[in-house]
Amino acid sequence: MAAFHSPSTASIGMVLLLLIGFSMAAFAYGNFYNNFDVVWGDGRAVIQEGGDLLTLSLDKTSGSGFQSKDEYLYGKIDMQLKLVPGNSAGTVTAYYLSSKGEAWDEIDFEFLGNLSGQPYILHTNVFCQGKGNREQQFYLWFDPTADFHTYSILWNPERIVFSVDGIPIREFKNLEFLGVPFPKNQKMRLYSTLWNADDWATRGGLVKTDWSQAPFKASYRNFNADACVWSSGSSYCSSNKNAWFWEELNFAKKGQMKWVQNNYMVYNYCEDPKRFPQGLPTECTFADIL
């Protein structure tokens, strides 16, 4: 478990590496009216600015959420989020891909709120055939409530990569040949919800939601899915498919990810042997050497 460091402690060498390796994705900005359905919240999810902005809100009665109209089987998904400001303890903003059924697949970003002045925890997980337990958690190197930042999922046949503002923070490789399940057969829809989870979200449930701060609000814009869309039993991909379908992390991107994990990771299931008394999961041993 790495200790939290402020951005001022980042090495000059890593800053140079970020500048060399960083490239901003070219967004084809999506319209929320066209791409998403509000699925719960009784008016707490609102599409604004002609479809360019969506806000979710949470009060003591209910949270809110939306889902994509399309389902995907592989793709590169980007969304810009601005998280709940101030005292967000007890709240969770979830942004994830998920299939259906008991043996579901899922790729998770979850943002765990905290007391004012304390950093959000970015919780990531990968579910395969209904089994998760692959949590990695991070602090962020910026205030995610002050402005919009881009959170991306790359999902192709070889790997899943979680990125923040184009900087990879986690990679989950396809190691099926070692018996590790990998999401590859189930189409997934994109979901996002804002909800109360004060029984576990902040310090394991020790800090409860302060409802005097409600309504809590998270904002979304600039959705882009360069993905294979599922329709009528088949998957249809864009002409840009080859740009991401076999994409892997180059040297600079691997350096960025190592910097994030060395400086901002606060939990890694692969470094928690007490949780796995029979031995760490297979991917924990082989992922870094293959």
* Residues with active-site annotation: 106, 110
b/e map of 132-163 (b: 16 or more CB within 10 Å)? eebbbbbbbbeebbeebbbbbbbbbeebbbbb
What the block records as the tokens of 204 is 């394991």
Angstrom distance (rounded) from CA 72 to CA 3: 36
Angstrom distance (rounded) from CA 203 to CA 198: 9
Q: Is the dihedral of CA 27, 32, 33, 35 positive or negative?
A: positive
State the chain's maximal CA–CA distance in angstroms: 54
Q: Where are the alpha helices (DSSP H) in 83-132?
A: none
